[in-house]
Amino acid sequence: MSDYSNYDSDIFSCTYEDQTAVICLKSESFTVAMNASKMHELLDCLNSIEVDERIKGIMTLHTSGDERISMTQKFMKSMRDNSGYVQKEMGVTRYGNAVKRLTLAINEFSKPSVVGINGQVSIDSFGYFLACDYRIATDDLKIKFPGLKIGVLPSGAVSFFMSRQLGATRSLEILMAGKTILADEAKILALISQVAKPENLKAACQAKLNDFYAIPGANTLNLTKQLIRPKTHELEEHFEMTSRLMWNSIIDL
């Protein structure tokens, strides 16, 4: 297992700041999905943080701009438009498996996890943020639906967590509408827990982690397992279903 206390790559960086591991995601989930070595590094990083007794929790920071949203749409369009049946199936399977592995790793993480979301993010990448214990977004948050606009269903765990929080009918309305979700609406819908100014995002994340750290023993984990985190088999069954649905939405076009 490598040392990730001061790590930097084109996909993510990781630094240890006192009792907190800070991971900055530089790329959308599809970039990791298409590169097995990058996925291994990210999962290995999470494992390293998990076993390090010096680290009490993890802060994940995500920044995004228009170019990353358009890249996500371009990637999904490339899977949809691929001329070969086998190539389409391989693309969907690899993407689905990568997002599943990352979401499960976050959901099963034994230490508190807080995510800070800055700017724009695709609904597909937002799925594994919903697996975190607490989500803080900047006031200029925009959750976009790049796949739906070209006929590809939102994938990953977003529909699973949304239906748990909002109910199936309300979740269906939101996901089918495909309208950009802004920060205030996201907070009302409980997709995020708190709104902060961009310059205060990291400090707000650390403040919430400090609240978690103040709870002794494994009580934080026990509470999140009771109230927030689903059983592993529930997520696995959901990913199996959504992978088939994503495949159907691509092959039928």
pLDDT digits (tens, 9 = 90+) for 180-237: 999 999 999 999 999 999 999 999 999 999 999 998 767 777 777 776 787 888 888 8
Q: How many domains does the chain have?
A: 1
Q: What is the CATH number of the domain that holds 103?
A: 3.90.226.10
Instruction: Answer whether residue 206 is part of any domain.
Output: yes
For all residues of the chain together, what is the average pLDDT?
84
**pTM score, whole prediction:** 0.86
Instruction: Tell me which of 70-74, 148-152, 175-179, 248-252 is least confident.
Output: 248-252
- Percentage, residues of the chain above pLDDT 90: 37
Instruction: Answer whether residue 234 is part of any domain.
Output: yes
pLDDT band at 251 (very low <50, low <70, confident <90, very high): low
pLDDT surpasses 90 at 19:
yes
What is residue 82's predicted lDDT score, i.e. its pLDDT?
67
pLDDT digits (tens, 9 = 90+) for 115-142: 999 988 888 878 888 889 999 999 999 9
What is residue 157's predicted lDDT score, i.e. its pLDDT?
82
What is residue 141's predicted lDDT score, i.e. its pLDDT?
94
Instruction: Answer whether residue 149 is part of any domain.
Output: yes
| Domain span at 192 | 6-251
What is residue 86's predicted lDDT score, i.e. its pLDDT?
67
Instruction: Answer whether residue 176 is part of any domain.
Output: yes
Instruction: Answer whether residue 1 is part of any domain.
Output: no
Instruction: Answer whether residue 72 is part of any domain.
Output: yes
- Percentage, residues of the chain above pLDDT 70: 87
Instruction: Answer whether residue 129 is part of any domain.
Output: yes
What is residue 2's predicted lDDT score, i.e. its pLDDT?
82
pLDDT surpasses 80 at 112:
yes
pLDDT surpasses 70 at 248:
no
The span from the CA of 208 to the CA of 196, in Å, is 12
Instruction: Tell me which of 44-53, 77-86, 98-107, 191-200 is least confident.
Output: 77-86
Instruction: Answer whether residue 207 is part of any domain.
Output: yes
